[in-house]
Structure 1
Amino acid sequence: MRALLVANPKATTTSERTRDVIVRALRSEVDLSVEYTHRRGHAVALARQAAQERFDVVVTLGGDGTVNEAVNGLMSALPATDQPATATAERLPALAVVPVGSTNVFARAVGLPPQWPEATSVLIEGLRTGRFRTIGLGRADDRYFTFCAGLGLDAAVIRQVERARLRGRRSTVGLYLRSMVSEYFIGMDRRHPAIRLEQPGEPAHEELATVVIQNTAPWTFIGDRAINPNPLASFDLGLDVLAVRQLRVPSTTRTLAQVAARTPDPRGRQVVRLHDLSEFTISATRPQAFQLDGDYLGERLKVRFTAVREALRVVH
């Protein structure tokens, strides 16, 4: 079995010694090649090349951003005519993930342990026994995502966090919480909701303040605790949406408490929840912060979302 390891040397919890241990462990099971990413977007090119060269597996060593790039590289290796709402997973290398990022949402969502030693052991056993799971992906315009997307408040928070990290700050729960409070009270226009969601054949949802899209649950983790705005989201279904109409303090506080509950069930007059959608479009009257899989991608006025079912095989 031929495998390519795509390693992000800047991943939060990795080191040269860690990488060496993981490489030796994987080489005990597969014919392994190793490539290191040198810039944002590099993993896309490396994974695409691996698919074109007919590798059996692409292994990512990094966080959710590295996983997202590798997935986009794999999917882009399909001919354009083969990238509709359903893809043929068997035509692509399988994906394996060694989690060494700060949160590792995707790895944990597919059932891997959050720590790299245990996850590596599970992956080696999965490679040895051929244990694969086929999952669906989300697609936002021409870019794929594995677990979440967002326009509005959550993306604006990620934007603030990424700017802080460029200044040398560590990515911590406290940094995210402070960024959320700052963006909510100072950064965004809460008085004039600007977002519209349209589905084929359904009435539009208008004057939305923020939208969270999930391809699986959970949306993220705070420590060991899963956070689930859309608790019914699944890799085996379409996309789920939680939108909030007005970000008033009382209703927003109530919604956040519902989302963070051990049995989440967000509801209320300000909440819109949609389950198992195949496609929809989000537009806005002014540019909105936009994120995929926890990476800030700038501002958007319009994004078309599509569920791509049975898109990719994952070692687990």
Structure 2
Amino acid sequence: MRALLVVNPVATTTSARTRDVLAHALASDLKLEVAATEYRGHARELARRAAEQGTTDLVIALGGDGTVNEVVNGLLHHGPDGGRLPSLAVVPGGSTNVFARALGLPNDAVEATGALLGALRDDSSREIGLGLVTGTPGSADAEIPARWFTFCAGFGFDAGVIGRVESHRERGKRSTHSLYVRQAVRHFTDDRQQRHRGTISLLRDGQAPVDGLVLTIVCNTAPWTFFGNRPIYAAPRASFDTGLDLTAVTRLSSAALARFTTQLLSSSPERGMSGKHVVSLHDETSFTLQSQAPQPFQLDGDHLGLRTSVSFTGVRRALRVIV
């Protein structure tokens, strides 16, 4: 089997020596080519080239969720291809590794490599659904290129927190859970205008709009994220085997934020966020989030700037993953 290993050399939790050991282990079972990313978007280019050339059977992403997202978008640059695309495998090397852990992989890179080799020998894989985001026709963001996501997207408060975290990382701060908590508190303190009623509307064909949303989280699987080793379930029923789930909030006062935070920290596969200010959708094929004012937007933990409108589609059986 011919495989391409796409390595993020600055992955948070994997040293250069460990990456060399993992590549050597993979090369014992595969005809392996190794490519290190050199800039943002490089992993996408490498995966796209592998898909277009048609000689690669497997693309392995060694890095965090951002690296995985780029590889997925490269593989699906021309869309799903009826099983003729290279399969995807993941070796976690980031700080959180939500996608890999949602697939049931070990969070340790060495253990995950062993699991991957075992899955290859057993010919074990699954087809998973993914989320696709496009600009909304007639909106200011209509021409923005389509982009796939593996586990979550956020429009509004959630994305604003991620944007703050990324700005600190660009200044040399490490991505830690405490950094996210501090930036969430600061974003809440600074964003007073939208605490009681937001500017985001949920639009679905044949349904009345839902207005006044402050926080919107779109999930393609559960858990939504991890707080250390604790899984957080914003949308407990979300699955790689269904459409998209949405959890949204229409009020974010101090009391509401404390209540929702408590619910998330105690969430489980059976229980997520609830209450009269929570809007929940399960297994949706398509919908649009639209705002009167530009809102921060993120996919798979990657802040993508401000948008006024984004349209979501759940695409089933979009990609084969080795697990």
Pairwise same-fold verdict (TM > 0.5): yes
Helix, strand or coil at the partner of 1:236: coil
Distance 1:298 1:191 in 2: 23
- Percent of residue pairs bearing the same amino acid type: 52
Alignment pair present for 1:300 and 2:304 = no
Matches within 5 A, 1:80-159: 83=79, 87-141=80-134, 142-159=146-163
Helix, strand or coil at the partner of 1:156: helix
Q: Which runs of 4+ in 1 moved over 3 A?
A: none
The answer as to whether partners of 1:89 and 1:313 remain within 8 angstroms in 2 is: no
Alignment pair present for 1:199 and 2:192 = no
Question: Where does structure 1 lack aligned partners over 5 or more consecutive residues?
Answer: none
Distance 2:298 2:263 in 1: 23
Paired position in structure 1 for 2:13: 13
Counterpart residue type for residue 275 of structure 2: G
The answer as to whether partners of 2:14 and 2:109 remain within 8 angstroms in 1 is: no
Question: Where does structure 2 lack aligned partners over 5 or more consecutive residues?
Answer: 135-145
Between the two proteins, the alignment pairs up a number of residues equal to 308
How high is the TM-score relative to the length of structure 2? 0.93
Distance 1:287 1:314 in 2: 35
Distance 2:263 2:209 in 1: 25
Alignment pair present for 1:277 and 2:284 = yes
Deviation at 1:131, TM superposition (A): 0.7
Distance 2:192 2:103 in 1: 34
Distance 1:71 1:140 in 2: 13
Helix, strand or coil at the partner of 1:90: coil
Aligned alpha-carbon RMSD (Å): 1.1
Helix, strand or coil at the partner of 2:208: coil
Q: Structure 1's 188 and 164: CA in aligned 2 closer, same or farther, altered over 3 A?
A: farther
Matches within 5 A, 1:257-268: 257-263=262-268, 264-268=271-275
The answer as to whether partners of 1:89 and 1:134 remain within 8 angstroms in 2 is: no
| 277-286 vs 190-199, greater mean Cα deviation | 190-199
Paired position in structure 1 for 2:219: 214
The answer as to whether partners of 2:63 and 2:93 remain within 8 angstroms in 1 is: yes
Distance 2:192 2:4 in 1: 42
The answer as to whether partners of 2:219 and 2:246 remain within 8 angstroms in 1 is: yes
Paired position in structure 2 for 1:177: 181
